[in-house]
Amino acid sequence: MKYILSPSVKSIENQILIFISEFKYRGQLFGDGKRNTIKLFEIDGRTINIKSFKVPNLINKIAYAYFRKSKARRSFEYATLLLKKGIGTPEPMAYLENYNWIGLKDSYYASEHLQCDLTYRELVEIPNYPDHENILRQFTRFSYNLHQKGIEFKDHSPGNTLIKKVSEDKYEFFLVDLNRMEFHKSMSFELRMRNLCRLTPLKEMVAVMSNEYSKLSGKPENVIFETLWKYTYDFQEKYYRKKRIKAKIKFWK
């Protein structure tokens, strides 16, 4: 077993270990649990979010043991780095990896459970969501700040940004599902646009984001829109093509 704890939660270390050891039998299920299982635990008025990552296949069992960092470890380390860079994410608490003779058996990531008002997904699914454009513009500024700091959040998708309202017209943003990230000295324009292409299929939202990103970057709005919309369209085409192929395969089964 390998176990790393954040110094900030040293006082509840034993309880976190108990929660992980009894994960199968305790805790409140959060989400659908289709890929990874997330459960919530309460201690001293705090809610702890513990993610149990899907058991890796044989190749990944070996890879995560000897060649690559596990998803749990990456989540912990990336969250720690994001906070150091001033980027919002739930406080990382600990990660734990269990090994057997083959390699990685299972792994867990514990963090603060953050109560939010919405995610980016609501902006996509509810066009008349209150203060919609203001939130979208502030989210674009948040994304621009990520890019300026060289942070490529590879899972920059609708459900992975938590949004919290902190005043009448002010919002804060927090990244979750952190195990796929890269950190660069700088990010090219093309890389920045590709990083935003998974967020929405709606042309009107891409237009607002392009307008705001143009104000921040100084790059012509039409260039940003045309590039971002091209990547967005290509992503959506690829996504639905894969879904159609999967549906056909399942049909013949």
Domain ranges of the chain: 2-112, 118-243
Nearest Cα neighbor of 175 from 150, 206, 200, 153 is 153
Q: Mean pLDDT over residues 90-102, rounded?
A: 93
pLDDT per position as a tens digit, 211-234: 999 999 999 999 999 999 999 999
pLDDT per position as a tens digit, 157-208: 999 999 999 999 999 999 999 999 999 999 999 999 999 999 999 999 999 9
pLDDT per position as a tens digit, 3-54: 999 999 999 999 999 999 999 999 999 987 678 999 999 998 899 999 999 8
Give burial (CB, 10 Å; 0-12/13-18/19+) of 34.
exposed
Question: pLDDT-derived band of residue 60, with 50, 70 and 90 as boundaries?
Answer: confident
| 163 Cβ contact list (under 8 Å, min separation 6) | 116, 117, 118, 119, 120, 135, 139, 171, 172, 173, 174
Question: Quick check: 89 and 128 in contact, CB under 8 A?
Answer: no
CATH class of 2-112: alpha beta
- Residue 135 CA to residue 72 CA, distance in Å, equals 31
Question: Quick check: 55 and 71 in contact, CB under 8 A?
Answer: no
Number of H helices, E strands in the chain: 8, 11
Q: What is the pLDDT at residue 241?
A: 73
Note the pTM of the prediction, 2 decimals: 0.90
pLDDT per position as a tens digit, 104-149: 999 999 999 999 999 999 999 999 999 999 999 999 999 999 999 9
Q: What is the CATH number of domain 118-243?
A: 1.10.510
The radius of gyration of the chain from alpha carbons, rounded to an integer in Å, stands at 20
**pLDDT above 60 for 253:** no
Nearest Cα neighbor of 156 from 182, 130, 135, 129 is 182
**pLDDT above 90 for 244:** no
Q: What is the pLDDT at residue 249?
A: 59
**pLDDT above 80 for 243:** no
- Residue 242 CA to residue 224 CA, distance in Å, equals 27
* Location of structure tokens 């704890």: 5
Question: Quick check: 89 and 79 in contact, CB under 8 A?
Answer: yes
**What residue ranges in the chain does DSSP mark as E strands?**
2-5, 28-30, 37-43, 46-52, 92-99, 104-112, 118-119, 151-153, 161-165, 171-175, 181-183
